[in-house]
Amino acid sequence: MKNRLIYRLILLSFLASPGELVEAREFTDAKGRKIEAELVGHSGKTVIISRGGKEFPVAVSAFSLDDQQYIQTWISENPEAARFKFGFYADLERERGVTQRDAPGGAYEDKLKTTAYSYEMIVYNKGIAPAESIDIRYEIYIHDYVDVVNNRFTRLAVGGEKEAKLQTIAGKISDLDIPASGRHDFKRTFNTQFYIDRDGGRTDEAAQDKILGVRIRVYKGNKMLGEFLEGEDDDVMEDIKWQDAAPTEGAGPTERG
């Protein structure tokens, strides 16, 4: 693949006039072949060069050692030339099966139901170069009305008010490579709760967790390259700040491609 790109670029060098080049430089590949081209972008271990009005991704390792040193210096001096373009997709689905059990310490016929949901997520690399050594991070936000820590939800049985706190389910996929025009699929499964407080068959109070949405980010080191929000209410999601939460234990992420 590398050799085919170099051969194509050499052919273009004969077809294009020198006046088409801007700040062109003569590069030498690992086999000593030369070409005039312009560095216009970089993405991981790949640079994007322009020749004849067209752009081509070429691995840095395809160049001579001297040119590799020049390219690395150019990359460090031109961070704004990083070329990353991502697309995102997220779909919330309810998993089959609902578990129901007696609520610990609850009153007559109190029930605590656990419902499993999952987010199917995809990150697309829409760039012309591979996205290399990137991290995908995500945070799922829930209004937690049924606080299961130390069975605090049972306060509803004695007249307590429903109160929601923000619950964040976080995950991270590290050191990932996505080829140009490629994608990475993954899935995260998590539980929500629904509590019914009954008294002699009459429902006194009920509370149910509410899923707000998901935020997906792509990072290269500490630099964020892209972000995506998905939720029922965009205004609510935009008001929730990135929690920078540590990955949450549980089912996921399950990589699917």
pLDDT of residue 196: 80
In this predicted structure, the answer to whether residue 105 has a pLDDT above a threshold of 80 is no
In tens, the pLDDT along 37-51 reads: 999 999 888 999 999
Q: Is the pLDDT of residue 9 over 50?
A: no
Q: How many CA atoms lie within 13 A of 106 on its CB side?
A: 25
Q: Which residue shows structure tokens 């290269």?
A: 220
Closest CA to 216 of 194, 201, 233, 237: 237
Output the pLDDT for position 156: 67
Give the H/E segment covering residue 175: strand 165-178
Mean per-residue pLDDT for 163-167? 87
* pLDDT top residue among 108 and 22: 108
Residue 93, Cβ neighbours under 10 Å: how many? 12
* Dihedral angle, C-alpha 157, 159, 165, 167, nearest 10 °: 10
- Residue 18 pLDDT greater than 60, yes or no: no
Q: What is the pLDDT of residue 27?
A: 95
Please state, rounded to an integer, the average pLDDT across all residues of the chain: 83
pLDDT at residue 59, as a whole number: 92
Strand, helix or coil for residue 64 = coil
Class of domain 2-81: mainly beta
Q: Which residues pair with 117 in a beta bridge?
A: 94, 190
What's the maximum distance between 2 C-alpha atoms anywhere in the chain?
89
pLDDT computed for residue 235 by the predictor: 87
pLDDT value of position 108: 56
Q: Tell me the pLDDT tens digit for each residue of 174-226.
A: 999 999 999 999 999 999 988 887 665 555 667 889 999 999 999 998 989 99
Instruction: Quickly state the pLDDT bin for 152 (edges 50, 70, 90).
Output: confident
Question: Is residue 15 pLDDT above 60, yes or no?
Answer: no
pTM over cut 0.85: no
Higher pLDDT, 200 or 34: 34
Instruction: Report, as an integer, the average pLDDT of 160-183.
Output: 90
Beta-carbon contacts of residue 32 (< 8 Å; ≥ 6 apart)? 64
**Residue 251 pLDDT grade (very low, low, confident, very high; cuts 50, 70, 90):** low
Res. 233 pLDDT band, cuts 50 70 90? confident
Sorting pLDDT into bands at 50, 70 and 90, what band is 151? confident
